[in-house]
């Protein structure tokens, strides 16, 4: 009987933990832009067009500066899969075609999330993503529709 | 006049390139809109019969690519870019350094749902799915691209051109429609010209003209892709004719390619189909038009275990003449019947590591010898219809 009870509580505890963890996971992946950006949200198709490097200008004509983490970085993989609904290799293919046929450029790669936040904060017209909490007044978060 | 035009174009490309290099020297390091890129690969090939990319029956390492290039964006709608390429593919391609592309791209319209670019210079031709990055081993789905669509001999003629281009896209809901239009000339040199005129015979290729159109339609961020390529090429062969030789005449080539890709979770299915209709006007027999229709296709299934490891299998078929699939016509050219076709069953794997590296290997079981270079297999008695090819390749790109 005692064993059953302990198991039950363990199950409830682990379920709650999983739920919380799931929420944290989903909410913590944030699309971030430099404070100079005025809109509050972006459609998924627009986010795809920007991160695949097809579109290089915001609607008001200003150039977009795209920052990404390395392909193997967990945040990059989560962002690509969950926010863009793409595989990292699909983005890579698009960049490769632009770079190696000379008709465009790849995004600027940063080492880690600290650098991502610093670069987006310092670069007007920039966009990036992070799972970290943002305590930087030069950065705004965008929701993806 | 034509010679003068070609000379002028060559000058233009050369000037553009040296100007870019000079700019690169000045701006490198301090200007963030100047970006370098490069790639290299080294492969090993062994075949049990026939030579492919060098003396492969004795294991060949004549299989390497090195490329380096940069792009410079002096203002946000204007892009200059160039890439120098060193290739070694045994006897099938010229060794040495060439200007792979040197172009200027201007973005006329670049909205979220609609864009239009205009481009000029030496460009990579928009042909099927993989043509533009075919020399970058790290971007290929296999060590050797399907010969049905990307035959090595084909590469030197239709891979890049001196052209003007329009390139656009339109997004509508979950659909993205891309369109590329090209008009230009093929930069034949002493070596690539030999693909049309035999080594032993003096001659040149004049007045080459190329028109190309490609549309790739993508659904849901590229989950499904469908492509159509059409191109037309014509040229005049300037030779001194005679029995057993290539006579002076015109060559007209019409090509259609259909491309399809479907991605489902970690599975990827690809297939491409190509048909080339060539008319040799007076080239084989003075005053007579000889028409040849080639037909080729491949189907490929890939599975990705994760972002590092991918395996694939492919069936790749090419017929030099779709009305003569057993290759009887090859005997008239003094070549074995097996030069008329290739049926290649391939399995392979790719492993990516340290961000920029890839190790890839594959095994081919091949029936037919159409994919072989005649230059590397001059002795008809040594050409075998059934053969196996094993290859391993290490590549790096940045």
Question: What band does A6 get if pLDDT is binned at 50, 70 and 90?
Answer: low
Nearest Cβ partner for B103 among A84, A100, A102: A102
Of A23-32, A121-130, B71-80, B131-140, the one with minimum mean pLDDT is A23-32
CA-based nearest distance B389→chain A, Å: 27
Average pLDDT of chain B is: 89
Check if the beta carbon of residue A113 is closer than 8 Å to that of residue A52. Answer: no
What does the alpha-carbon distance between residue B364 and residue B391 come to, in Å, rounded to a whole number?
9
| B115–A72 C-beta distance less than 8 A | no
Put simply, whether A4 touches B (Cβ < 8 Å) is no
Q: How confident is the model at residue A19 (pLDDT cuts 50, 70, 90)?
A: very low
Confidence of residue B28 (pLDDT cuts 50, 70, 90): very low
* Of B327, B315, B300, B163, the residue nearest B233 (C-alpha): B163
The B-side interface with A (CB below 8 A) comprises 35, 37, 39, 67, 69, 71, 73, 76, 79, 81-83, 101, 103, 105, 107, 110-112, 115, 117, 119, 123-124, 132-133, 135-136, 138-139, 167, 169, 171, 174, 220-222, 263, 304, 307, 355, 397
Length of chain B: 398
Distance CA B316, CA B271 (A): 10
Whether A18 contacts chain B with CB within 8 A: no
H or E element, residue A100: helix A88-100
Q: Calculate mean pLDDT across residues B134-148.
A: 94
For B265, list phi and psi in degrees, rounded to 5.
50, -120
β strands within chain A, DSSP E: 30-34, 41-42, 65-68, 108-109, 126-130, 139-144
Please give the pLDDT value at position B365: 97
Decide: B296 and B317 in contact? Cβ < 8 Å.
yes
B139·A102 Cβ contact <8 A: no
Cβ of B169 and A88 within 8 Å? no
How many CA within 13 A on the CB side of residue A138?
13
Selecting from A45, A93, A99 the residue whose C-beta is nearest the C-beta of B37 gives A99
Q: What is the mean pLDDT of residues B75-85?
A: 94
> B111: which chain A residues are within 8 Å (Cβ-Cβ)?
55, 57, 59
Is the model's pLDDT at B82 over the cut of 60? yes
CB contact A107 to B (< 8 Å): no
Mean model confidence pLDDT for chain A: 83
Lowest mean pLDDT among A89-103, B257-271, B364-378: B364-378
Residues B124 and B146 sit within 8 Å (Cβ to Cβ): no
B233-247 tens-digit pLDDT? 999 999 888 877 888
**pLDDT tens digit string along B280-332?**
999 988 899 999 999 999 999 999 999 899 999 999 999 999 999 999 988 98
∠ at Cα B391 (B386, B396), nearest 5°?
A: 155
In tens, the pLDDT along A8-18 reads 655 655 555 54
DSSP E strands: which ranges in B174-322? 175-185, 203-219, 224-239, 249-264, 267-281, 289-304, 309-319
Average pLDDT over residues A66-81: 93
For residue B146 the two structure tokens come to 């399907």
pTM over 0.90: no
Q: Which residue in B76, B133, B307 is closest to A89 by CB distance? A: B307
Q: How far is B336 from chain A (nearest CA, A)?
A: 38
Task: Tell if the CB–CB gap between A77 and B105 is shorter than 8 Å.
Answer: no
Q: pLDDT tens across B336-362, in order? A: 999 999 999 999 999 999 889 999 999
Q: What is the pLDDT of residues B158-191, one digit of tens each?
A: 889 999 999 999 999 999 999 999 999 998 877 6
- Judged by average pLDDT, the poorest of A108-122, B252-266, B367-381 is B367-381
Give the pLDDT confidence score for residue B272 in this predicted structure: 98
Cβ-Cβ pairs closer than 8 A, A with B, add up to 98
**% of chain A surpassing 90 pLDDT:** 57
């Amino acid at each position: 009987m005692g064993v059953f009870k302990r198991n039950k509580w363990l199950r409830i505890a682990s379920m709650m933990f999983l739920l919380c963890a799931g929420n944290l996971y989903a909410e913590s992946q944030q699309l971030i832009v430099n404070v100079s950006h005025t809109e509050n949200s972006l459609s998924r198709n627009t986010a795809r067009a920007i991160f695949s490097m097809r579109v290089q200008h915001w609607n008001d004509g200003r150039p977009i500066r795209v920052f990404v983490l390395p392909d193997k970085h967990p945040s990059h993989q989560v962002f690509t899969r969950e926010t863009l609904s793409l595989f990292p290799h699909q983005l890579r293919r698009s960049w490769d075609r632009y770079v190696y046929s000379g008709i465009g450029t790849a995004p600027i790669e940063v080492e880690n999330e600290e650098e991502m936040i610093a670069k987006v904060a310092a670069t007007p017209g920039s966009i990036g993503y992070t799972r970290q909490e943002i305590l930087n007044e030069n950065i705004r978060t965008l929701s993806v529709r | 006049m034509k010679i003068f035009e070609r000379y002028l174009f060559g000058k233009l490309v050369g000037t553009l390139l040296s100007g870019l290099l000079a700019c690169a020297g000045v701006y490198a390091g301090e200007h963030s809109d100047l970006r370098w890129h490069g790639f290299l690969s080294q492969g090993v090939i062994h075949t049990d019969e026939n030579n492919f990319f060098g003396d492969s029956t004795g294991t060949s390492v004549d299989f390497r690519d090195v490329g380096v290039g940069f792009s410079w964006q002096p203002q946000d709608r204007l892009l200059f870019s160039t890439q120098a390429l060193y290739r070694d593919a045994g006897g099938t391609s010229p060794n040495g350094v060439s200007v792979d592309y040197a172009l200027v791209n201007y973005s006329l319209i670049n909205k979220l749902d609609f864009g239009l670019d205009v481009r000029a210079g030496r460009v990579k031709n928009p042909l099927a799915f993989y043509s533009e990055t075919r020399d970058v081993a790290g971007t290929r789905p296999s060590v050797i691209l399907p010969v049905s669509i990307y035959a090595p001999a084909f590469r030197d003629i239709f891979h890049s051109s001196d052209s003007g281009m329009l390139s656009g896209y339109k997004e509508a809901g979950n659909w993205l429609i891309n369109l590329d239009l090209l008009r230009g000339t093929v930069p034949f040199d002493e070596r690539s010209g030999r693909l049309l005129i035999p080594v032993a015979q003096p001659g040149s290729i004049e007045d080459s003209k190329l028109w190309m159109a490609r549309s790739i339609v993508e659904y849901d961020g590229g989950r499904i892709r469908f492509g159509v390529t059409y191109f037309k090429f014509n040229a005049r062969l300037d030779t001194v004719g005679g029995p057993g030789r290539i006579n002076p005449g015109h060559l007209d080539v019409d090509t259609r390619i259909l491309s399809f890709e479907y991605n489902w979770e970690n599975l990827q299915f690809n297939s491409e189909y190509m048909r080339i209709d060539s008319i040799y006007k007076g080239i084989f027999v003075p005053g007579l038009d000889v028409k040849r229709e080639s037909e080729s296709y491949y189907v490929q299934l890939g599975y990705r275990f994760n972002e590092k490891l991918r395996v694939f299998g492919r069936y790749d078929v090419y017929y030099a003449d779709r009305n003569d699939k057993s290759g009887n016509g090859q005997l008239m050219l003094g070549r074995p019947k097996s030069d008329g076709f290739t049926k290649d069953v391939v399995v392979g794997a790719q492993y990516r590591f340290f961000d920029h590296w890839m190790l890839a290997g594959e095994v081919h079981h091949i029936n037919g010898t159409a994919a072989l270079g005649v230059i590397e297999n001059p002795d008809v008695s040594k050409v075998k219809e059934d053969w196996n090819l094993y290859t391993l390749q290490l590549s790096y790109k940045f």
